[in-house]
Amino acid sequence: MIDVIQKLFTDGFIYIFIFFVFFIATVFESVEEFHKYRFITATLSVLTLFLFTGLRWETGTDWNSYSELFRDVDVSFGDVFFIQLYSFDFGYVFLNILVKYFTNSYTVLLLVDSFIALGLVFLFIKKYSPNPNISIFVFYNAFFVAQFMGSNRRIVALGLTLFAISSVIKKSKFWFFQTTSFLFHKSSIVALIAKFVPKKRFSKNKILAILIISLLIGILQIPLKILELISGILSSFSGFSVIDKLSTYTLESDNIVLGNRNPILMMILSIIKRCVFLIFYLIIIYKKKGKLDFTTDFFLNIYIVGFSLYLLLNGSEVIQVSSSYFTFIEIVVIGRFWNYADKRDKLAFLPILFFYGFFQLVSSLTAYPELYIPYKTFLN
C-alpha cells in the first residue's frame, strides 16, 4: 500500500488532486454562507468525473474485455451476437450495437456509458441528498475508481438500482427500473430484496442483532455451503457448476476482485469502515431522539441490509460484491444524516471522513495500480 501511495504522488497526482478538490467542496458545503452554491460545485464535480472516465484510454480493470466486445460486436444480430450475450448482458450489448451503428470510436461508447451511469447517480444525489458534495466525495473514493472505471455495464445497473430502491417508497416504477437494471447486469436481481425491507427504521438493538448474527453465519460460511449444495444439485442436470458460472460471469468482464490485496485484511478494514459510518448515524439518531424523516429511515435500513449481506457472504469476494447494490445507497445516507448533524458533530467527523476517503481511494488502486497509474486519455 505504501508503494501505491508513493506512486500516486508521483505518477497519479490527478487522483489526489480530485480527492482534495472534492473534500474542499465538502468542507465549504458545511459552511452556511456557501451552502447555497452546493449544487453548482456538485454539478462541476460530476462533470469532471464524466470526462475523467469517459476520455480514459487503457485505464481501468475492464479495458480488454469491453474494448474487444465493442470492436467485435455483431451489429447484424447474427450468431456472434448470441455468443456475446453469454458473457455479457442484452442491455449492454445492445448499447454497444447502437453506438457502433454510428461510430467505430470506443471513446464515444465510454462517454455514452459514463453519461448514463453518472447521470443516474447525479440525478439521485440531487433528488435525495441535501448535501450533494459530501455524497460525491464518498462516491468518488468508495465507488468511482474501483467500479465506475472498471465495470461498464454494472455501473449502469447500479445507477438504475438506486431508483428501483427509491421506487419502493413511492410504490411506482420499481419493476421498470429493476428490469432495466437486470438487462445491464444479471447480478442486480439481488435488489429484489429491497421490496421486502421494512420502511420503519430498525431499532438500535435490532441493527446490532442483525449484524452480529450475519457475522457469525458468515464466519461459518453457511450461505456459501448452501449455494454449493444447490450448485451440486443443478450441476447434475445442467452439466456445469452454477458457482463456477457465477464466478466466471462476474470475473471475466467485471474485474473488481481483490487482485494483490489480502482478502482477510480488506474484509476487516471494510467492516471497520462501515462500523465507523454506522456509529456516526446512531449518534445522530440518539441526539435527534430518533426523529428522522421517513426516507432517511428506509435508506438506512437498505444500508443495513447491504452490510448484513456483506457479512453473510463472507468467503466469496465474487458473490460478496452483490451487497454493493445496497451499500451504494450510503452516498445519499451520509448526505441526509449530515443535514441532521450539528457543527460539533461535523467538525469531529470531517477528519475521519478525510482519512477514510484517502484510505478508500488508495485501497481501490492497490489491487491493480498499473492499470490506473498513470492515468491516460485517448489523446495519449
Q: What does the chain come to in residues?
A: 380
The set of residues, in sequence order, having a beta carbon less than 8 Å from that of 2 and lying 6+ positions away, is none
Rounded Cα distance between 127 and 37, Å, is 16
Residue 104: DSSP 8-state: -
pLDDT of res. 92? 92
The set of residues, in sequence order, having a beta carbon less than 8 Å from that of 134 and lying 6+ positions away, is 26, 29, 30, 334, 335, 338, 353
Tell me the three-class secondary structure of 165-220, residue by residue.
HHHHHHCCCHHHHHHHHHHHCHHHHHHHHHHHCCCCCCCHHHHHHHHHHHHHHHHC
Q: What residue has cell string 458533530?
A: 345
Rounded Cα distance between 341 and 8, Å, is 33
pLDDT of res. 250? 46
Contact 167, 177 (CB under 8 A): yes
pLDDT band at 256 (very low <50, low <70, confident <90, very high): very low
Contact 148, 53 (CB under 8 A): yes
Q: What residue has cell string 467485471?
A: 254
pLDDT of res. 197? 95
- Closest Cα to residue 41, out of 141, 136, 148, 162? 136
Residue 323: DSSP 8-state: G
pLDDT of res. 82? 60
- Closest Cα to residue 345, out of 273, 282, 272, 275? 282
pLDDT band at 312 (very low <50, low <70, confident <90, very high): confident
Determine which of 48-52, 107-111, 175-179, 308-312 has the lowest per-residue pLDDT on average. 308-312
Compute the average pLDDT of residues 24-29: 95
pLDDT of res. 78? 64
pLDDT of res. 40? 95
Compute the average pLDDT of residues 261-289: 82
Q: Which residue has the higher pLDDT, 136 or 85?
A: 136
pLDDT band at 253 (very low <50, low <70, confident <90, very high): very low
Rounded Cα distance between 207 and 254, Å, is 31
The set of residues, in sequence order, having a beta carbon less than 8 Å from that of 62 and lying 6+ positions away, is 149, 150, 151, 152, 253, 254, 255
Rounded Cα distance between 340 and 303, Å, is 18
The pLDDT > 70 percentage for the chain reads 86
pLDDT digits (tens, 9 = 90+) for 213-223: 999 988 887 87
Contact 100, 70 (CB under 8 A): yes
Q: What residue has cell string 505518477?
A: 11
**H-helix segments, the chain:** 2-10, 13-29, 38-54, 63-72, 79-87, 90-102, 106-128, 132-139, 152-170, 174-184, 204-219, 222-238, 242-253, 263-287, 294-312, 317-320, 324-327, 330-340, 343-366, 369-372
Q: Report how far apart, in Å, the C-alpha atoms of 27 and of each of 32, 42, 243, 280, 346 are.
A: 10, 13, 45, 17, 9
Rounded Cα distance between 124 and 160, Å, is 10
pLDDT of res. 151? 85
